[in-house]
Amino acid sequence: MIIVPEKVIPNLIDRTTSFKAVEAVFAAMSNGDAYNFPVIRENIGYADALYGFKSGFDKVGLSLGLKSGGYWPGNESKGLTNHQSTIFLFDADSGKVKAMVGGNYLTAMRTAASSSVSIKHLAREDAKILGMIGAGHQSAFQLRAAVEQRKFERILGWNRNSEKLSRLEAVAVELGLPFEEVSLDELGAQADVIISITSSFAPILKATQVKAGTHIACMGTDTKGKQKIEAALVAKATVFTDEIAQAITIGECQHAIADGSMTAERITEIGAVISGKHSGRTSADEITLFNGTGVGLQDLSVASDLVKLAVKSGDALEIEI
C-alpha cells in the first residue's frame, strides 16, 4: 500500500491539477461513467463532531474508494484544522487497498476547485467583484481558486466575527487585490460572484440582498439542517449542483425542497454544463446558484492524481499489508 502523508501534500498538489480532476469527474458523473455511493454522516454526540464516509467509483478514471472523516469545531483552539479526513483508494480490478492519503489539504483543494469550476462555467464573463461570506479555514482556498476564473478587481468580505476576515484580507493583499469588509446588504448589492462557506444552520444571505446576474457558489452546506442562503433565493435562482441526490438531502436545496418552493427537477448537475448537454447561464440578468455539496468522487479523483505525483517525486511511502 502506498501512503502519502499529509505533510508532503501541499508541495505536491496544485490548483490546476485539482481543478482538472474535479471538472473531469463532474463530467464523468453526468455521463454516467462515475457515481457516488450514499453518504454516511453522523453527529456522533461527542466533541460536537460530525463524522462519516463519502465514497464512489469512476469507471473511466478507475478511482474507487472512500474518504473517512468529518468536522471537529473545537480543533482550531488546539492548533488543528477543524476538518480531519483520510482517503483510501482501492484497486478496481482486485479490491486490494492501493493507497492511504491524508485528506485535510486535499479536501480544501477539491472544495475550492468545485466552486472555481462553477465560476468558470456559470458566472458572467464580465464579473469584477467577488463577495466572500465566511472566513474560516476553507475560505482562503476558495478565494485563491476563484480569482483564477475571472478578472476580479475587488474582494468584499463578510463574516460573523469581523476579526477573522484578516485571513481573507491577507490573501487579497498577496494577490494584489483591494479588500473591504462590508455588510451583507452591500455585499449582495455589489458582488458579481458570491461564495458562501460558513458552518451556519440558519440563512445568512436573503433573496432581496442579491442583484440580478450574480453567480452564487454555496459551499458550506453539506449536512442535514445546515443553511446559508434563504430558501427564497434558492427558489429564485437557476440552480446547479455537483449531485442532485446530495443537494436535496444535505445541501442548500434541502430547505427550498422542504418548503415546496422548488422541486428537484429544477436542479441541473454541473457536469451537464461541462459536457455541453446544458447551456448553463442563459442571460446576463439570471441569478445562477451552484450548490457544491462535496462528493466523494472529488476526493478520489484528486487523490488518484496525487498518488501518481507522490510516487514520481519519491514522497510516497510503501508498505506491505
Residues sharing a CB contact under 8 Å with residue 313, sequence separation 6 or more, in sequence order: 12
For the CB of residue 125, give the shortest distance to ligand NAD in the complex, in Å. 25
What is the distance between the alpha carbons of residues 8 and 11, in angstroms, rounded to a whole number? 6
As a 3-state breakdown, the chain gives helix, strand, coil percent values, each rounded to 5, of: 40, 25, 35
Name which of residues 54 to 83 contact ligand NAD (CB under 6 A).
71, 82-83
State the Cα torsion 91-305-116-27 to the nearest 10°. -50
- Does 222 participate in binding ligand NAD (rule CB under 6 A)? yes
- Does 164 participate in binding ligand NAD (rule CB under 6 A)? yes
The residue annotated as part of the active site, out of 54, 67, 226, 228, is: 67
Q: Which H or E run contains 191? A: none
Options 18, 138, 196, 214; binder of ligand NAD; rule CB under 6 A = 138
What track of x and - describes contact with ligand NAD for positions 277 through 316 (by CB under 6 A)? Answer: ---------------xxx----------------------
Options 52, 102, 103, 134; binder of ligand NAD; rule CB under 6 A = 134
Q: Are 235 and 215 in contact (CB under 8 A)?
A: no
For the CB of residue 78, give the shortest distance to ligand NAD in the complex, in Å. 13
Q: Which H or E run contains 7? A: none
Residue type for position 60? V
- Does 219 participate in binding ligand NAD (rule CB under 6 A)? yes
Residues sharing a CB contact under 8 Å with residue 54, sequence separation 6 or more, in sequence order: 36, 39, 66, 67, 294, 295, 296, 299
Give 76 or 91: the residue with its C-beta nearer to ligand NAD. Answer: 76
Options 63, 85, 116, 159; binder of ligand NAD; rule CB under 6 A = 159
Q: Are 228 and 256 in contact (CB under 8 A)?
A: no
Which of these segments, 60-68, 170-178, 199-207, 259-267, binds ligand NAD (CB under 6 A)?
Answer: 199-207
Which of these segments, 11-19, 194-202, 230-238, 262-270, binds ligand NAD (CB under 6 A)?
Answer: 194-202
For the CB of residue 272, give the shortest distance to ligand NAD in the complex, in Å. 19
Which of these segments, 128-136, 146-154, 177-185, 272-280, binds ligand NAD (CB under 6 A)?
Answer: 128-136
What is the distance between the alpha carbons of residues 124 and 12, in angstroms, rounded to a whole number? 32
- Does 200 participate in binding ligand NAD (rule CB under 6 A)? yes
What is the distance between the alpha carbons of residues 307 and 100, in angstroms, rounded to a whole number? 9
- Does 199 participate in binding ligand NAD (rule CB under 6 A)? yes
Q: Are strands 97-102 and 83-90 parallel, antiparallel or unpaired?
A: antiparallel
Give 115 or 304: the residue with its C-beta nearer to ligand NAD. Answer: 115
Which one, of 205, 217, 232, lies nearest residue 123 by Cα? 217
What track of x and - describes contact with ligand NAD for positions 19 through 58 (by CB under 6 A)? Answer: ----------------------------------------
Whether 67 sits among the annotated catalytic residues: the reply is: yes
Q: Are 111 and 299 in contact (CB under 8 A)?
A: no
- Active-site annotation, residues: 67
Binding stretches for ligand NAD (CB under 6 A) = 71, 82-83, 107, 111, 134-139, 159-161, 164, 197-200, 204, 219-220, 222, 292-294
